[in-house]
């Protein structure tokens, strides 16, 4: 097969020249040479200057996803093993403790220079999301190398499950897929991805909290790892609140976790109270999903926190006004909603949604209490999110004292020039009534 060369238009390719990984269809001048979608091709600037190699897909507006800036680099097993090893070594370096490697994101697509691929580790199970055709062709080699590299450090993998069930796969000319890829019980099979089944309920430990993760039916890859250290920050605040109760006339705490999913923030805060010697009912978690509430309740029992933390199914947007009308006030309110926008075009409506939910949440916080609020949409920029919260505070007649601004955990690295890798904004405030 002759070498395939993608040549950019003059003045285009600004994203990849700045360090990004994507080339859009309207940036390309010519494509020479025979190829199939998903093949590795060479990229050159308008003047013939070599830009590197990536894989091409004419089904997608993201026409090329770059793998390397070296035009003479062979995209072979050694190259992919190097990318995987670098990703794992990075995780080993940035975690707070080695316990954090029990559950973490090992590969984060473009930010690990493996575009379109996500791999999460839940104890001894890997969950894969592959959203690019070219990466789908390289997936088996990458996973094989990853299992070997993990074994070198004493981490045995008993199973790999794929959760590539996002509709966006259709834009790549692929159908959504979920299913078993590998089981160590069938390791004698000559083919690495043997499709063997395994028990998919996995117990993980994060920040001292135990969870049962359902990698088949849970959201995304089964669990949201990106809030790990944000939950830890809320542990600290709640522990200190409970420890300081002996200096106050009020001896009870009330904490509300909205959009609780598997009970993650609620359980972190409940554990903090317990560790501070507080053993009364204090934390309520709300989620619209009955399934999520059942998971969260089971996790509370697993951690022996069901006397401190409870959950119920409710539409948060409807429940917050009802609580306000009932005169409820909380020491801590956490707002962790799903993305209100997944496109730039829907940002205006998302702003209204974030403003409304924050205004309602603010009104429920006691004078001097605390609000944690976040957005997980990269279209809701940091500047826009901060502005929206400020507008909500003005409408609610509250003053904000910022404690921390945080982003996603470092195992979800932010690659500058790849805007899509920066999505999570997390703010903690002390709330003071206007007087």
Residue 211 within any structural domain of the chain: no
- Looking at mean pLDDT, say which of 117-131, 166-180, 207-221, 420-434 comes out highest: 117-131
Mean pLDDT of 104-120: 97
38 located within any domain: yes
Q: Using the 3D structure, point to which of 51, 68, 85 is the last residue of a domain.
A: 68
- Please compute the mean of the pLDDT values over residues 341-357 and round it to a whole number: 80
In the chain, the number of structural domains is: 3
Domain check: are 55 and 124 in the same one?
Answer: no
For residues 45-70, average pLDDT: 96
222 pLDDT more than 90: no
* Residue 386: pLDDT band with limits 50, 70, 90: very high
What integer pLDDT is reported at residue 378 of this predicted model?
83
Average confidence (pLDDT) over 377-405:
94
Same structural domain for residues 45 and 175? no
Asked if residue 214 belongs to a domain, the reply is no
pLDDT averaged over every residue in the chain: 93
- pLDDT tens-digit map of 251-286: 799 999 999 999 999 999 999 999 999 999 999 999
- Higher local confidence (pLDDT), 249 or 407: 407
The residue range of the domain holding 152 is 77-203
Calculate mean pLDDT across residues 297-317: 97
Pull the structure tokens for residue 155: 């981490």
As a whole number, mean pLDDT of residues 401-420 equals 94
Q: What does the pLDDT read at residue 196? A: 92
Report pLDDT for 1: 44
pLDDT at 5: 96
pLDDT band per the 50, 70, 90 thresholds, residue 190: low
pLDDT tens figures, 169-182? 999 999 999 999 99
Point out the domain boundary residue: 35, 68, 101.
Answer: 68
Co-location of 61 and 94 in the same domain: no
Q: Let me know: does 390 contact 355? Beta carbons within 8 Å.
A: no
What integer is the mean pLDDT of 387-409? 96
Same domain, 241 and 295: yes
| Nearest-angstrom CA–CA distance, 291 and 31 | 49
For the whole prediction, is pTM greater than 0.75? yes
pLDDT for 249: 66
- Residue 21 sits in the same domain as residue 120: no
pLDDT tier at 310, thresholds 50, 70, 90: very high
Which residues have a catalytic role annotated?
376
210, with CB counted inside 10 A (0-12, 13-18, 19+), is: middle
Same domain as 326, residue 248? yes
pLDDT at 46 over 80: yes
Report the alpha-carbon distance of residue 45 to residue 8 in Å, rounded: 5
Q: Are 32 and 5 in contact (CB under 8 A)?
A: yes
Q: Are residues 282 and 392 in the same domain?
A: yes
Number of helices (H), then strands (E), in the chain: 9, 20
Question: Do the beta carbons of residue 299 and residue 340 sit within 8 Å?
Answer: no
- pLDDT > 90 fraction of the chain, expressed in percent and rounded: 83
CATH number of the domain enclosing 82? 3.30.750.80
Structure confidence by residue, pLDDT tens digits, 72-103: 999 999 999 999 999 999 999 999 888 899 99
Same domain flag for 281 and 144: no
CB-CB neighbours of 329 under 10 Å:
15
């Amino acid at each position: 097969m002759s070498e395939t060369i993608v040549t950019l238009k003059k003045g285009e390719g600004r994203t990849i020249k700045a360090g990004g990984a994507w080339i859009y269809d309207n940036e390309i001048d010519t494509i020479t040479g025979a190829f199939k979608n998903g093949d590795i091709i060479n990229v050159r600037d308008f003047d013939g200057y070599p830009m590197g190699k990536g894989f091409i897909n004419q089904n997608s507006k993201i026409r090329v996803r770059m793998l390397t800036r070296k035009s003479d680099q062979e995209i072979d097993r050694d190259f992919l093993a190097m990318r995987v090893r670098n990703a794992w070594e990075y995780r080993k370096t940035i975690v707070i403790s080695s316990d954090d490697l029990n559950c973490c994101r090992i590969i984060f697509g473009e930010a690990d220079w493996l575009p379109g691929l996500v791999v999460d580790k839940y104890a001894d199970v890997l969950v894969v999301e592959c959203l690019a055709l070219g990466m789908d062709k390289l997936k088996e080699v990458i996973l094989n190398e990853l299992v070997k590299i993990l074994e070198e450090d004493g981490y045995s993998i008993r199973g790999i499950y794929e959760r590539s069930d996002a509709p966006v796969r259709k834009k790549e000319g692929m159908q959504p897929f979920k299913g078993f890829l590998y089981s160590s019980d069938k390791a004698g099979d000559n083919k690495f991805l043997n499709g063997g089944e395994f028990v998919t309920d996995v117990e993980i430990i994060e920040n001292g909290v135990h969870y049962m993760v359902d990698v088949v039916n849970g959201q995304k890859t089964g669990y949201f790892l990106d809030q790990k250290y944000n939950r830890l920050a809320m542990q600290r605040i709640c522990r200190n609140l409970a420890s300081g109760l002996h200096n106050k006339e009020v001896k009870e705490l009330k904490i509300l976790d909205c959009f609780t999913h598997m009970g993650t923030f609620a359980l972190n805060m409940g554990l903090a109270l317990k560790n501070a010697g507080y053993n009364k009912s204090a934390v309520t978690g709300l989620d619209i999903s009955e399934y999520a509430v059942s998971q969260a309740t089971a996790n509370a029992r697993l951690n022996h926190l069901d006397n401190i933390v409870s959950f119920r199914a409710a539409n948060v947007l409807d429940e917050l006004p009802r609580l306000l009308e009932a005169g409820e006030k909380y020491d801590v309110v956490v707002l962790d909603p799903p993305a209100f926008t997944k496109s730039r075009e829907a940002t205006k409506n998302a702003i209204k949604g974030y403003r409304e939910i924050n205004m309602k949440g603010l009104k429920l916080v006691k004078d001097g209490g605390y609000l944690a609020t976040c957005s997980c949409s990269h279209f809701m920029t940091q500047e826009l999110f901060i502005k929206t919260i400020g507008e909500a505070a003005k409408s609610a007649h509250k003053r904000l004292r910022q404690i921390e601004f945080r982003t996603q955990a470092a195992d979800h690295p932010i690659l500058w020039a790849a805007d899509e890798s920066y999505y999570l904004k997390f703010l903690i405030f002390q709330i003071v009534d206007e007087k």
